[in-house]
Amino acid sequence: MQKIVLIILLLANMGWANCPNFTTYQAEKELLSLESQIAIWDNAYFINGHSLIPDEVYDQVLNRYQQLLICFPNYQQTDFSQQVIINHKIIHPVVHTGVKKLTSIDAIKNWMVNKTDLWLQPKIDGVAVTLIYEHGILVSAISRGNGSYGENWTEKVKLMPMVPQKIITLTPQVLLQGELFWLVENHIQKQHGSNNYRSKVAGTLMEKLPNHDKLSQIRFWVWEWPAGPPMMTQRLTELKQMGFNYGVDDTTAISTFLQAQAIREQLFNSPLNYPTDGIIIREGKRPAGQYWQVKEPYWIIAWKYPIQEKLTVVKDIQFSVGRTGKISTIIYIEPITIDSKKITRLYLGSINQLIKTDIAIGDSIAVKLSGQSIPQLKSIVWRAVDRKKQPLPDEKVFTFMTCFTYSKACHQQFLARLAWLSGKQGFNFNHISQATWLKLVNEGKVTSVISWLELELNDFANIPSISEQQANNLFAQFQLAKQSSFVLWLAALGITDLPPTINQYCWQDIVLWSIDEWQTKTNISLSKAKKYRLLVNSEQINKLQKTLARQKVSGFF
């Protein structure tokens, strides 16, 4: 029973309430595919220092992988982490440890309990490296690699003029661990995100021919001196005397969670000259470097900024027809929350965009919020092994000239027309939403985009969920619409963006206009002039015109 409870808690923490409905064969294929993808990312990051996906998305993928292992415990796991040590050239004299990433406030508070020598550092979003100085001269630079082995970056780092090439010290050998980062100006992490600054550093390191402008943009942030004095204050003092500023000046002693929270918030929202992705909280005193291991140590944690990109799974793909007949793609996803906003779907755009991105049901995608808090597809993280593609609708079925009257096939476009004409672009009706129109359509009260004009007050009786007060409101606004201008009624019929000067004309005038006259008198584009001339001379619009004439609407009689 305890094991079942543990599994449920783990699944909840990873974002899935239930295990996916995979057969054993499907699960094996998905896990093998995921392992292969993770190995590709790891090789790029640990060997080349190049991050193919954001850290926060990578962490979520690992969570998803661990969940699948819990759901399918009989799977024989591949040790994909071992694939990344092939071709490593240099062994680290002192290994790079990992860092435990805590996300909940309670977990961070619990970690800080009974610890008195705590220090906070910005978590720099750069490329981890070991620098070795002998008698004050830089002699070696090794990429983090897998923590035990790394690539030889000495030649390139020696060409970085702003990375200390000489330091002031009497210590025969000084080994430092830190971060190569891209110097920026007024970078506000909350607004600008990572901006691929880490990739810029990695790319500069990988270029065959040195680019001195780029090399001059890179700085070194020291965050550890494994063989340094045991106390943090002394380490910082001596590092400062050696000539290091980044990582020394920004390390702050803290004693409470509230201090850590305030500094984290300040770093996230303030202009800085370095990119960050959270904070590091560490104990000042820790074991000497020879005792470190390539795993998460007990003396240090990371508290990253709120996740800006969330991993989710495509559950369904549907299509929506708009007012003008344009078909849009809607991606329904496994529910996620970003910045307290629950997201269950996102709009991808046109069918061509769906074809271009090649998204299918079952794919895992990263979603972020735009500046206007609109969910957007950021990337396809990996494609499912068994993918289900939706049949594409025929884009020729619906046009700007279709669905002025209701039919089952026209359901979406017809409702979109009604919602538009009652919105701010049209009559600006109060408390009349698409849901209101749907009620009237379902009851057979509205059968064309203007048939609501002919409704009497008693026609609203016995319509479910429309009260007497609502009925009076609807009827009053519908009657008032009869007094609207000619140009506004043309917009309701889909003839939009016309100037107020059109009110001097009437229907009998515009049906006779040539394409040139449409352009001259309305200042619209040639393509619109052609469309509008077709529309006003179409049979279905002329039927609507007769109704408007009977209702004595301005310009139609």
Three-class SS state of 453: helix
Three-class SS state of 182: strand
Residue 219 β-bridge partners:
181
* 244, 165 contact by CB (below 8 A): no
* 359, 353 contact by CB (below 8 A): no
Q: Which two tokens stand for residue 501?
A: 């000067």
φ, ψ of residue 372 to 5 degrees: the values are -100, 20
| Helical (H) or strand (E) element with 27 | helix 24-42
Distance CA 114, CA 156 (A): 44
* 343, 333 contact by CB (below 8 A): yes
CA trace torsion 523, 525, 527, 528 (10° rounding)? -50
Distance CA 369, CA 376 (A): 6
* 452, 444 contact by CB (below 8 A): no
Q: Which two tokens stand for residue 383?
A: 């494609």
Distance CA 351, CA 441 (A): 28
Measured in whole angstroms, how far is the alpha carbon of residue 323 from the centre of its chain? Answer: 28
Q: Which two tokens stand for residue 434?
A: 């698409």
Is 123 in the active site? Answer: yes
Q: Which two tokens stand for residue 543?
A: 């039927």
Distance CA 518, CA 536 (A): 11
Strands (E), 196-308: 218-224, 252-254, 271-272, 276-283, 300-304
Distance CA 427, CA 477 (A): 9
Q: Could you tell me which of 277, 274, 306 has the C-alpha nearest to residue 186?
A: 274
* Helical ranges in 186-231 per DSSP H: 189-192, 197-206, 212-215
Distance CA 278, CA 114 (A): 23
Q: Which two tokens stand for residue 40?
A: 């590709």
Of the residues 100, 101, 123, 521, which is catalytic?
A: 123
Distance CA 331, CA 348 (A): 7
Compute CA distances 545 → 161, 513, 557, whole Å. Answer: 76, 16, 9
* 183, 143 contact by CB (below 8 A): no
So which residues are the catalytic ones?
123
